[in-house]
Amino acid sequence: MIAQPTPSGAVQEDADSAALRARLDLLFRKQMTEGHDGWAALQLRRHIEAYRREEQA
């Protein structure tokens, strides 16, 4: 597949988002343990992601 030309800012934003998601995946890797359904951690993760995106913007 040939990549479509995109403004460099958008490419950077995608890279930042991907890096953020990868780091959060790593940080939250122990949430689905026995006895924990992880819903509170999912909310925390959502808030952290929103906060980091606000910082990046």
The answer to whether 23 contacts other proteins (rule: CB under 8 A) is: yes
Secondary structure (DSSP) of 18-55: HHHHHHHHHHTTT-S-TT---HHHHHHHHHHHHHHHHH
Distance from the Cα of residue 56 to its chain's centroid: 12
The answer to whether 29 contacts other proteins (rule: CB under 8 A) is: yes
The answer to whether 20 contacts other proteins (rule: CB under 8 A) is: no
Contacting other proteins (CB under 8 A), which of 12, 44, 56, 57?
44
Residue 17 or 31 with smaller CB distance to other proteins: 31
Interaction site with other proteins (CB under 8 A): 23-24, 26-31, 33, 35-41, 43-48, 50-51, 54
